[in-house]
Structure 1
Amino acid sequence: MGVGFEQPALETLLDLYRRDRALAMRLSRAIYQFAETGRGDVKKIAGSEHLYRLRVGGWRVIFARGGTDVWVTGIVNRRDAYR
Structure 2
Amino acid sequence: MIDRIKAVSFKDLNQDGRTDIIIIADYITGVNAHGIERLPVAGIYFQKKDNTYTTLPELDKSINQTGHNRTLQNIIQYVSKQRINM
How would you bin the TM-score normalised by the shorter chain? 0.3 to 0.5
Max Rg structure: 2
Q: Which has the higher strand share?
A: 2
Give the TM-score normalised by the residue count of structure 1: 0.35
Q: Which has the higher helix share?
A: 1
Higher relative CO (CA 8 A, sep ≥ 6), structure 1 or 2?
Answer: 1
Give the TM-score normalised by the residue count of structure 2: 0.34
